[in-house]
Structure 1
Amino acid sequence: MKRSIALAALWAASAAAAPPALTGEDYARAEKLLDYRLRGTIKNARIEPQWLADGRFWYRCDGEQGPEYVLVDPAARGRQPLFDPPRLHAAMRAVVPAAAAPQPLAVEADGDALRLRLRGDGERELDCELREYRCQAMPARSDPLALVSPDGARAVFVRDHNLWLRDLRSGAERALTRDGEPHYGYGTLPDFALRAVPSRQGRWRAPPFALRWSPDGRRLFGTRFDERRVQPYPMVAMAPADGFRPKVYDVRLSLLGDAESVRDEWYAVDVDSAAADGAAVRRIAIPLGWNNVAEADVLGWSGDGRRAYAAIARYDRPARMRLVEVDLDRGVLREVLEERSDTRIQLNDYLYSRPAVRILAARNRAVWFSERDGWGHLYLVDLGDGRVLRRLTRGDWLVRDLVGVDEARGELYFTAGGREPGDPYQRRLYRASLDGGEPVLLTPEAADHAVDPGASAILGGAPKQWLSPNGDYVVDSYSTLDAPPRAVLRSTRDGAVVMELERADASVAYAAGWRPPQRVRLKAADGRSDIYATVFLPPGYSADDAQPKQYPIIDGFYGGPQITNAPVALADAVAATNPVSRASLAALGFVVVTIDARGTPGRAQAFHDASFGPFADPQIDDHVAAIRQLAERYPGLDLDRVGVYGHSFGGYASTRAILRRPEFYRVAVSSAGSHNYQGMYGGGVHGLERLLAGPPVYGESGPRRPAPDAVPDNYRALDNASLADRLRGKLLLVYGDLDENALPATTVQLTAALIRADKDFDLLYLPNQDHELFRNDAYYTRRMWDYFVRHLMGSEPPRDYRLQQPAKPGL
């Protein structure tokens, strides 16, 4: 009887100490802050100028009633509407009655007036002059599956694995190549691009892949990928929408250590002389053991358009990268220079950004990015013999992006981090002389200045042009975590603001309850290196409370070596790329932190190289050290309740965190994790070895797998399965069965190890889902929230709450 009373008292005490169950209203408030709910709600978050030949530019902005178009004359310091919308719409409908509201595709100066090319009714476009507002219909030229020539007169597209040319005036078509075949086509999307399943399903179509026009429009230069020898990798849809028999998609994907991986070669097409037999197609071999650098694309052209400049690499030890000149007429290569590294070698510290390289054909020079002195800097090299003529930048700071070069003035423009006091992840814009000397700061504001040339070619999209054609002006958009972006037109002479263009409006996000996170500088586990974190605090948190409430902590982990993830600007914090859900989890009562630790880019090469080999392990130690420091600065952070979550590389790192540091991390939710690397893709074209630990080493067998179950010596310790017996906390593993980025088998292989170790874990399998599940699957999001609420907060989630499913973008 006494024991029953004691147990009842204990249960009563536990119930009193447990936080109250969360309600549907709590989840509804958090749902309003989801990244996909707030994406696109910040009006005028980014202004992109479209320059005219006469120095004016136009841009699209978010008006009160919808899109508006503005014409700016920098010389006159003037701005006006690009056109009269009702008048232009009436002129459009007079020719094409079904024409929608004006959406300019291109604008050209026509004397004192302007000519616009606009969307019509699908099959037709409209050419409209704005002096008299008269329009005429023309065949549609804006085919998203075609690559238009520089003069806009013709376009190349893919049909049956071959290239075809279409005359955009007459509509006539003719084949440029004839020997394309499956897995060895021209301009076709290779399977290693990780869109094979939606392509097979007809949900993904793209313009010609890895193909560029010469500036004069006479030649095409592209990369052809041979995947015919690559062993098929099965992707299995277990619950297809159109039946009960599982569907298998055989994707040509090589794994680390495979004897055969994708091969690449270049080709050139003389478009004007291409005969019916394809004689004008020239194959250009890449040296044996070398591969085209996919993210580099074409780096530039000679003045006559007969030679292209590109980068090739091989990632053995040391890793080597070459700048080469490709003679398109003769089909031969000439090495210009070679760069070497014992670890990674890249043309931008951020892999997904455009190479910080520019070919200066008129000067026979190149601006070249190198980390040869331990920091990413720019060098002027001679294209004739590869000699470094001079350094253009130097110091303990990093060049982020090469924005442009004014060859006539002998000047270049670049962004950098860490040259000015303060946060080294905030970008500033500079001007420098090709003759050398100290750079000139053009953006004095302590903020992140988003003047970047856009994503690398491997991610698609045209480069962005922020500089005016004459080099006198630049459009700059800058922001901090608590200040929405402000777009201005600056003089490139002294950085003075010539005109304010737009101020972004984040009122929708604020009305939804979004609160700016805080930026914090901390020390890494080595006690010396500065690392930075962005902290999302729960509503009502106050450091001044005499007895602060205790808050559980969630570490939003990514940790990939190619990008940073702790935002420094408002738009990135409102709707992040990865990890998502930080503001929502904070709204539920967690302190959520994202940390850019040693091993991520954006700093010195040594800082970045900390992850080359051990990958996530140094970062995990840095995260633990950082969170302990945060608990000293922010009263109420409960170090006995620390969780971690992540997706992709973050799925790997979050699982590894709870396995490697079980005394610190109590709960983990890991989605689409690459839990081992012997089961991930490899090879010189697209393999992960260039990022993680170099080519696989199998003892005396070298880089080729000697047996099906052999694990490379230099990747064995990175396998999360090797730590399976260390699991003590709560782990939820999540994967989609059609994920080509983080192969589902690596998650299942980890579950096999956990079962062998007799460990309890949770598994969420999402049928017909790909790698985007963490952004497009409300069920996953709700389950992730529930898991942390139940196992880290110690509360109960609402029983019947369902999150609204986001609209999936069209593929």
Structure 2
Amino acid sequence: MKRWAICIAAICAAMSAAGQAQPLALSAADYARAERVLDYNLKGRIKNATDAPQWLADGRFWYRRDGERGAEYVLIDPARAERRPLFDSARLSQAMRAALPQATAAPELLALQVDGEALRARLRGAGARELDCDLQTYRCQAVTATAAADPGWLLSPDGSRAAFVRENNLWLRDLRSGAESALTSDGEDHYGYGVQPDFAMRGVPRRQGRGQTRPYAVSWSPDGRHLFGLRFDERKVLPYPFVALAPQHGFRPVAYELRLTLPGDREPARDEWFAVDVEAGGARRIAISDGWNAMREAGVLGWSRDNGRVYAAIANDGRPTRARMIEIGLRDGAVREVFEEQSDTRVQVNDFLTRPAAVRVLAASDEAVWYSERDGWGHLYLYDLRDGRLIRRLTGGEWAVREIIGVDEPRRRVYFTAGGREPGDPYQRRLYRVSLDGGDPVLLTSEQADHDINDAGGGFARSGAADPLSPSRDYVVDSYSTLDQPPRSVLRSTQDGAVIAELERADVSAVTAAGWLPPQRLKFTGADGRTEVFATVYFPPDYAPERAKPGQYPIIDAIYGGPQVTNAPVAYVEATAAINPISRSSLARLGFVVITIDARGTPGRSRAFHDVSYGLNHDTQIDDHVAAIEQLAARYPGLDLQRVGIYGHSFGGYSSTRAILRRPEFYKVAVSSAGNQNFQGMYSGGVLGLDRLLTGPLDYGNGERLRPAPDAVPAVYRAFDNASLADRLQGKLLLVYGDLDENAYPAVTVQLTSALIRANKDFDLLYLPNQDHELFRNDPYYTRRMWDYFVEHLMGARPPANYRLQPPKQLSTSGF
């Protein structure tokens, strides 16, 4: 029996070796083809993928489109189902030059308004002059240009004033007169008003004098009479150094000391609210109850009818985890609990941390639409704001609400997207409406695709997006696509979802000319043998099942795995140019089969699916990845299970390292960049809110939440510290970090290297001076080294020597 097993193993190994048809060396031309489909080279190359409607007072809207010779402008009349050019470009250009001879550029629209029967356009002119044009008569006059808004200004609702930060205090500028006045006076270092705190991960750029931002976590009341915000106290937080060893100017290393809370610190960052009466000045301090912190991801949830009260959410990460909707009086500072939500795991206001809160305050009726996973799925509930009473459940079933798009208060309707209610891929979003007075949701998008209809309220991902719903709430702009069907934008009726007009069909010729090929969407069974997990797979251009030889194609698992987002694309644009992981199309071009899997522990499905990752259980997710890749290889001929690699960035850097350490028999090569390789050395504290998302309260023994010794580690962190598995390393591991990375501290990667050295393990380390967390998206040297590592150690080929990738034309500044 043993002899037969040895023979079979030898035959399989020989077949695998024989089937490895990749060349012994890849050429510069091979890398050039891969570079053409690199994410940052495809970003923005799809024309008319989305439309940003600018609604007019008469119910019409206009939007900018990508034309053959530049920007074009389209006017839509929903009532007449009419689509036409907003103006005759040649005629308008002539009128512009007649009024301002220096205006030689094509018309660039700055603003548009209804003026009786006509439309008046404000257009860019030349120098300090703009043009005011009547689009009916095509007559223009030159006017003084509107002063450009300073990026550090927070404009009032009517646009006449701006709040800004100066020396840790809030100031007010009258934009008509230029007069400035101080609104607060007691701000200080590490305890300012509107000052971005160090835990916001931009502390180093701020100390370098870069990255000026608008007042942080500050909002105007709708009537412009008050400013409301969060103030963060980091005065007692211990300093945490970041050291630039090769500074761009000079030779002496530069240390940047930030105030950052680590798990168990006795003096964490603290938060409180404040309110400013803009006319009177001065700030009213409003305390948050002990043990509670503001849910920063929720922001301002809404305002009362008289604008004198604001609604926010606070959380307590104890057992159980609790969240409360709070009403705050701006004039007297009174705080009232409206209602409380509890959970034995997470409490969130959207299953996706990076998306806006799926909550709405209905000021006219003193009600609120609240998001909850209390029954095991993310759904909407209607509450009475006056007494906190639950009025009714609005949605229900084994499917998940994704976002609230808007509310029609007069008709008492909520518009929202959700996944999993219709047959097919549960990650594809559809648009629905539901009555606040009860009844089943009404499907408004029948196409089996991902409908990208974004909330205009902002949030981490799409702050300031145009409102897809008309002011009357009669119409909605919808852009939908699949992995192999480019975006199509339409105007729909919100009554029955009927298409009123087609707006655009995206032009993808540039990305297809670059050689980009759509990936495939596949479904597998998780390691438990029951749960469906979904994946997106990028195949090499030459892959054909009928021609594939045994063991011809090595496999790469492109992983993120964090509990706050999904990463396997379901829509066309995301599949061409993602935030994380990147390089999937490029690696497929080089001859790898690349797969991204949304396994158990990630959001977008049931609470039970998501809660697998609560308590830092990441091993189940890795087991799901292994199970899915084994099924992929069984389903598609030519894939080599003896050559499986993995890479990831940020949480993916942790995931990829853990995968090669925990499953060394499966994963042979890993590239792990900017990984949070342990959690005891990362950011923590109730203000940041990650403990609430990842683990709940820390316990150093006997319920103690403070670190009793410098090297003490809570039990929940100890088991998932990658250093605890250092002695299991067998394959090739490349660790990468930038010395100014505030998202995943360089120290935790170095701490892992210390454990690997103690275990006498061989590994590779790439240190990138002056790089922050965006190295994964911005640094071409890192990208080339990552490609080389897989080509050499997984494919078994020789990469082209010193190939130089071109850097992105526009650097990424925010990602995960």
TM-score, normalisation: structure 1 = 0.95
Q: How does 1:406-445 map to 2 (within 5 A)?
A: 406-445=408-447
Cα deviation per residue 1:449-499 (whole Å; 9 max; x = unaligned)?
Answer: 001216853557225411111111000000000011000000111111100
Cα deviation per residue 1:406-440 (whole Å; 9 max; x = unaligned)?
Answer: 01111111000000000000000011111111111
Q: What residue number does 1:22 align with? A: 26
Deviation for aligned residue 1:809: 3.2
Q: Secondary structure at the match of 1:606?
A: helix
Of stretches 775-784 and 14-23 in structure 1, the one that deviates more from structure 2 is 14-23
Q: Secondary structure at the match of 1:678?
A: coil
Deviation for aligned residue 1:352: 0.5
Distance change >3 Å, CA 337–CA 688, structure 1 → 2: same
Deviation for aligned residue 1:695: 2.3
Q: What residue number does 1:707 align with? A: 709
Matched, 1:42 2:34: no
2:109 partner letter = P
Contact 1:557 1:654 in 2 (8 A): yes
Matched, 1:555 2:533: no
Cα deviation per residue 1:638-690 (whole Å; 9 max; x = unaligned)?
Answer: 00000000000000000000000001000000000000000000011114212
Deviation for aligned residue 1:189: 1.2
Q: What residue number does 1:33 align with? A: 37
Matched, 1:208 2:210: no
Contact 1:315 1:684 in 2 (8 A): yes
Deviation for aligned residue 1:344: 1.1
Deviation for aligned residue 1:192: 1.0
Matched, 1:111 2:113: no
Distance change >3 Å, CA 493–CA 529, structure 1 → 2: same
Q: How many residues align?
A: 795
Q: Secondary structure at the match of 1:374?
A: coil
Q: What residue number does 2:390 align with? A: 388
Q: Secondary structure at the match of 2:694?
A: coil
Of stretches 148-157 and 748-757 in structure 1, the one that deviates more from structure 2 is 148-157
Q: What residue number does 2:9 align with? A: none
Matched, 1:173 2:175: no
Contact 1:256 1:687 in 2 (8 A): no
| Separation in structure 2 between the aligned mates of residue 56 and residue 466 of structure 1, nearest angstrom | 13
Q: Secondary structure at the match of 1:755?
A: helix
Q: What residue number does 1:567 align with? A: 569
Cα deviation per residue 1:95-135 (whole Å; 9 max; x = unaligned)?
Answer: 69579654434332222223344556687766555453234
Cα deviation per residue 1:353-408 (whole Å; 9 max; x = unaligned)?
Answer: 11111101111111110001000000111101111111110100000001111011
| Separation in structure 2 between the aligned mates of residue 317 and residue 112 of structure 1, nearest angstrom | 62
Matched, 1:226 2:233: yes
| Separation in structure 1 between the aligned mates of residue 124 and residue 338 of structure 2, nearest angstrom | 44
Cα deviation per residue 1:724-756 (whole Å; 9 max; x = unaligned)?
Answer: 000000000000000000000000000000000
Of stretches 550-559 and 282-291 in structure 1, the one that deviates more from structure 2 is 282-291
| Separation in structure 2 between the aligned mates of residue 145 and residue 202 of structure 1, nearest angstrom | 13
Q: What residue number does 1:744 align with? A: 746
Distance change >3 Å, CA 121–CA 295, structure 1 → 2: farther
Q: What residue number does 2:589 align with? A: 587
Matched, 1:196 2:210: no
Q: What residue number does 1:5 align with? A: none
Distance change >3 Å, CA 87–CA 697, structure 1 → 2: farther
Structure 1: tracts of 5 or more residues without a match: 1-9
Deviation for aligned residue 1:691: 2.0
Cα deviation per residue 1:550-601 (whole Å; 9 max; x = unaligned)?
Answer: 2100000000000000000110000011000000000000000000000000
Q: Secondary structure at the match of 1:385?
A: coil
The match for 1:255 among 246, 255, 262 is 262
Q: Secondary structure at the match of 1:114?
A: strand
Distance change >3 Å, CA 176–CA 128, structure 1 → 2: farther
Matched, 1:371 2:376: no
Distance change >3 Å, CA 206–CA 394, structure 1 → 2: same
Contact 1:237 1:248 in 2 (8 A): yes
| Separation in structure 1 between the aligned mates of residue 100 and residue 632 of structure 2, nearest angstrom | 64
The match for 1:354 among 335, 353, 356 is 356
Distance change >3 Å, CA 726–CA 408, structure 1 → 2: same
1:334 partner letter = R
| Separation in structure 2 between the aligned mates of residue 62 and residue 240 of structure 1, nearest angstrom | 41
Distance change >3 Å, CA 459–CA 681, structure 1 → 2: farther
| Separation in structure 2 between the aligned mates of residue 671 and residue 35 of structure 1, nearest angstrom | 17
Q: Secondary structure at the match of 2:655?
A: helix
Q: How does 1:119-130 map to 2 (within 5 A)?
A: 128-130=133-135
Contact 2:130 2:142 in 1 (8 A): no
Contact 1:139 1:168 in 2 (8 A): no
Deviation for aligned residue 1:548: 5.0
Q: What residue number does 1:805 align with? A: 807
| Separation in structure 2 between the aligned mates of residue 185 and residue 417 of structure 1, nearest angstrom | 41
Contact 1:125 1:140 in 2 (8 A): no
Distance change >3 Å, CA 366–CA 751, structure 1 → 2: same
2:165 partner letter = V
| Separation in structure 1 between the aligned mates of residue 488 and residue 477 of structure 2, nearest angstrom | 10
Deviation for aligned residue 1:79: 2.3
Matched, 1:156 2:163: yes
Q: What residue number does 1:778 align with? A: 780
Q: How does 1:220-299 map to 2 (within 5 A)?
A: 220-274=227-281, 278=282, 281-299=283-301
The match for 1:328 among 320, 330, 346 is 330
| Separation in structure 2 between the aligned mates of residue 120 and residue 699 of structure 1, nearest angstrom | 68
The match for 2:224 among 214, 217, 235 is 217
Q: How does 1:70-149 map to 2 (within 5 A)?
A: 70-85=74-89, 94=99, 97=102, 102-118=107-123, 128-131=133-136, 132-149=139-156
Distance change >3 Å, CA 578–CA 412, structure 1 → 2: same
1:806 partner letter = P
Distance change >3 Å, CA 296–CA 622, structure 1 → 2: same
Contact 1:736 1:744 in 2 (8 A): yes
Deviation for aligned residue 1:614: 3.5
2:413 partner letter = E
The match for 1:542 among 541, 544, 550 is 544
1:35 partner letter = D
Cα deviation per residue 1:508-556 (whole Å; 9 max; x = unaligned)?
Answer: 1111111110000100101111000100001111112374562100000
| Separation in structure 1 between the aligned mates of residue 374 and residue 470 of structure 2, nearest angstrom | 32
Contact 1:737 1:770 in 2 (8 A): yes
Contact 2:312 2:327 in 1 (8 A): yes
Deviation for aligned residue 1:143: 2.5
Q: Secondary structure at the match of 1:453?
A: coil
Contact 1:353 1:454 in 2 (8 A): no
Deviation for aligned residue 1:228: 1.1
1:31 partner letter = E
Q: Secondary structure at the match of 2:194?
A: coil
| Separation in structure 2 between the aligned mates of residue 413 and residue 282 of structure 1, nearest angstrom | 36
Q: What residue number does 1:692 align with? A: 694
Of stretches 580-589 and 134-143 in structure 1, the one that deviates more from structure 2 is 134-143
Q: Secondary structure at the match of 1:212?
A: strand
| Separation in structure 2 between the aligned mates of residue 691 and residue 450 of structure 1, nearest angstrom | 26
| Separation in structure 2 between the aligned mates of residue 737 and residue 679 of structure 1, nearest angstrom | 15
Q: What residue number does 2:728 align with? A: 726
Of stretches 613-622 and 586-595 in structure 1, the one that deviates more from structure 2 is 613-622
Q: What residue number does 2:500 align with? A: 498
Structure 2: tracts of 5 or more residues without a match: 1-13
Q: CA RMSD in A?
A: 2.0
Distance change >3 Å, CA 286–CA 119, structure 1 → 2: farther
| Separation in structure 2 between the aligned mates of residue 758 and residue 121 of structure 1, nearest angstrom | 67
| Separation in structure 2 between the aligned mates of residue 124 and residue 605 of structure 1, nearest angstrom | 56
Matched, 1:183 2:190: yes
